[in-house]
A and B are shown apart, each in its own frame.
Chain A
Amino acid sequence: MRATDVVKRFGEREALRGVSFEAGPGELVAIIGPNGAGKTTLLSILAGISSPDEGGVEAPDGAVGWVPQQAALYRRLTVEENLLLFARLEEHEDPAAAVGEMLELTGLQERRGEIVARLSGGNQQRINIAIGLLSRPAVLLLDEPSVGLDPRQRARLWEFVSGLAGRGTTVIFSTHDIQEAERYGGRVLVLADGESLFDGSAEELRRAVRGEAPESADRDFETAFVAYLQHRGH
């Protein structure tokens, strides 16, 4: 997936100022940045929910799966009913088989008949992701997927997402959890005030900080990241 000089304006405010990046098959790209950096705006443009004012997005053949920050599913339906509805809307040839596959992938076979509202936030998020995967996308976009999850749920979520990337799916996710970005993101894209400040691995970001603020570089990744932003006036 490739984004080239993407600009997005909301009235007078520029939410994205010429952001460019690309991600290949099996890559896990973390988009990080402070609040209002433009992370969700960039993901919604990549997902095709909103269109850029300038620049463009090239998506690979095959659908782009999108998993919004807040679970987009029907809480009064069961796990299976939700998956079946979206499988039918995706016009799967065999919706029941697709549902079975997703239940297996999410490990929710035994809870297939439960009303979603009664599931934990972590399990709801797994269904949310499973719905995003129903179209068998080449690229999966996740907007802050671990928000509201406890550590154990988060660990299970990342295990699941890493498995997808391992099978060749391009995964692009935004997060506020910098440690999570370091741990699971093969690459990190740093956005601040709509600008793309950095695109590389977590280790490359540390190296960049080491040259500018050595006292912060070898502490935790979050401290290095904050120092990086401060050094650039953010």
Chain B
Amino acid sequence: MGGVRWLLLKDLQILRRSPLQAVLLIAYPILIAVLAGFAISRGPEDPRIAFVNEVPPNTRIDVGGAELPKANVKEQICARVECVFVGDRAEALEKVESGDVLAALVLPADLVNKINSLSTLTPGVPEVEILVNEENALKAELVDDRITTLLAEANLRIARRIGNEGGRYLGLIVNGGRFEVLGETIPILGLQASARILETVTPALPPRLRPSLEEVTEFASQARDNLDVAKPLIDRLAQPIAVDKVVVGGESPPLEIFAIAVAATLTLAFVVVLLVAGSLALEREENAFPRLTRGLVSSSGLLAEKVLLGVAIGLIVTLLMLLGMKVFVPLELGRIGYWLLAIVVAAAALGAAGAALGAAAREVRAVSLLAFMVTLPIAFLSLVPSGAVGAGAFDAIRYLTALFPFKPALEAIQAALDASGSGIGGPLLHLAVLFVAYALIARLALRRFASV
């Protein structure tokens, strides 16, 4: 164990002697991690949409001659996209063509009239115009998705307003009340009052007239009952299918916690894998490996020293990063014990994987390249959520990522950061198994290392 201590000191001296390399080794992964975390934690930017409203001011949607309350469609749309208000269609077109805006939404002057015509015998087709510059497929799809969703929401809001107003009129017919039209108030008797009046006057009528009047009374009662049912039906017409979201598993942590876990794991993975793989390859590049293993230190001792180096540096860098993040995001310091546990176990497994990679090549540069080539795609594959790709592809990704410590490290760090999330035991066990497996592979690979 004494030998391990001196080798550890030697590696730290070499790191100190190469400040640029050390800074790159630590700063570059942190940069990648912060960028990845930033990208994950931010939703997509609101697209800039030019908005042309040619509808004359104070034009209101009305049903059967009565104005509906404002649906605030413009406000609804502009809350979801960044509206750039322009004067006319030509200006909107220019902005779309120049790329200043992603698309333009034109509400034509006759839009409200056409909506109003929906309740007449000659309904028109209300249309809005969208101007899009589909210079690339991604942009086209983004515009399609956003605009379609926004218009669906606008349609829904208008339909609800119409449904509400229709329901109000039905209420007047059933229950009676007052109806404002052209500045005059018209009292509406309503089916309920009509039936009551008829029931009151029926006994005073001659017997031969009573059956007919009783039929009318009966009709009024039935109509009232059935129209009561009609109102909820009209309400449902606006949104026939309701959404009932049930979370069946995979309790997701808050987005910022997930982003921090991704950033921390990326940093840890790159620092540890590169450092362990590189420092092991350095023993070979400097021809020191045979000299060391001629009785000065065992191969297993050398491996342990490299993993220990990775764990120590990875722990310091990741911990400092998390503490730095704490300034911006409320992380629970009370869970620091879990942080340490997750980072140490994850670093050990990543270090063992780094050692296996380090034993595969002779030069530090080749090993560094190999470490990047393995770690980066595995890290990104580990972030692919279920449903984002086909079932077969996702299974393949799941099995592949389970073979490398990045994903369980991410799960462990996520669990350590978020008390409400899933347990930390499973990922730690997974990491322990990978540690043993990679340590064995590295130990076997060192035999080849010695023989070359």
- Interface residues in chain A, defined as those with a beta carbon under 8 Å from any beta carbon in chain B: 44, 47-50, 66, 68, 70-77, 81, 85-86, 88-91, 115, 131
Contact = CB atoms under 8 A, between A and B. Distances in A.
Contact of A66 (B3, B288, B294, B450): B294
Contacts of B295: 48
Given A75-B286, A76-B17, A81-B13, A50 B6 contact: no
A47 B291 CA distance: 10
Given A68-B287, A89-B6, A76 B14 contact: yes
Interface in B1-53: 2-3, 6-7, 9-10, 13-14, 17-18
Contacts of A76: 14, 17-18
B287 A70 contact: yes
Given A86-B296, A91-B2, A115-B17, A77 B10 contact: yes
B249 to A, nearest CB: 51
Chain A interface main SS type: loop
Contacts of B290: 44, 49, 68, 72
B14 A88 contact: no
A48 B13 contact: no
A81 to B, nearest CB: 6
Given A76-B17, A76-B18, A77-B13, A89 B288 contact: no
Contacts of A68: 287, 290-291
Give the interface centre of B9, B14, B291, B451 by most chain A CB atoms within 10 Å. Answer: B291
A74 B294 contact: no
Interface in B292-316: 292, 294-297
Given A74-B14, A75-B286, A131-B291, 12 more contacts: A47-B294, A48-B295, A70-B287, A73-B288, A74-B10, A76-B14, A76-B17, A85-B9, A88-B6, A89-B6, A89-B292, A90-B296
Given A73-B286, A89-B297, A50 B17 contact: no
Contacts of B450: 49
B364 to A, nearest CB: 11
A17 to B, nearest CB: 20
A80 B150 CA distance: 72
Contacts of B287: 68, 70-72
Contacts of B14: 74, 76-77
Contacts of A71: 287
Nearest to A71: B287
Give the interface centre of B7, B10, B18, B451 by most chain A CB atoms within 10 Å. Answer: B10
B286 A72 contact: yes
Given A70-B287, A71-B287, A74-B288, A48 B3 contact: no
Nearest to A69: B287
Contact of A77 (B17, B291, B292, B294): B17
Contacts of B3: 89
A74 B286 contact: yes
Interface in B236-290: 286-288, 290
A77 B7 CA distance: 12
A156 B13 CA distance: 31
A66 B291 contact: yes
Contacts of B292: 89
Contacts of A86: 291, 296
Given A68-B291, A74-B14, A89 B286 contact: no
Given A77-B10, A91-B2, A72 B288 contact: yes
Interface in B82-114: none
Contacts of A81: 10, 13
B271 to A, nearest CB: 19
20 contacts: A47-B294, A48-B295, A49-B450, A66-B291, A68-B291, A70-B287, A72-B286, A72-B288, A72-B290, A72-B291, A73-B286, A74-B286, A74-B288, A76-B14, A85-B6, A88-B2, A88-B6, A89-B3, A89-B292, A89-B296
A129 B317 CA distance: 39
A84 to B, nearest CB: 9
A89 B292 CA distance: 8
Nearest to A50: B451
- By Cβ-Cβ distance, the 7 closest A-B pairs, closest first, are A72-B287, A89-B296, A72-B291, A88-B6, A76-B17, A70-B287, A76-B14
Contacts of A50: 451
Contacts of A72: 286-288, 290-291
A29 B123 CA distance: 111
B291 A85 contact: no
B335 to A, nearest CB: 39
Contacts of A91: 2
A48 B291 CA distance: 10
A167 to B, nearest CB: 23
Interface string B139-178: 0000000000000000000000000000000000000000
Contacts of B13: 77, 81
Contacts of A90: 296
B18 A49 contact: no
A147 to B, nearest CB: 13
Give the interface centre of A49, A71, A74 by most chain B CB atoms within 10 Å. Answer: A74
B309 to A, nearest CB: 14
Contacts of B9: 85
Nearest to B287: A72
B17 A48 contact: no
A49 B6 contact: no
Nearest to B18: A76
A48 B297 contact: no
A73 B292 CA distance: 10
A75 B7 CA distance: 15
A163 to B, nearest CB: 23
A47 B296 CA distance: 13
Contacts of B296: 86, 89-90
Contacts of A66: 291, 294
A201 B434 CA distance: 58
A210 B185 CA distance: 141
A37 B422 CA distance: 64
Contacts of A77: 10, 13-14, 17
Nearest to A66: B294
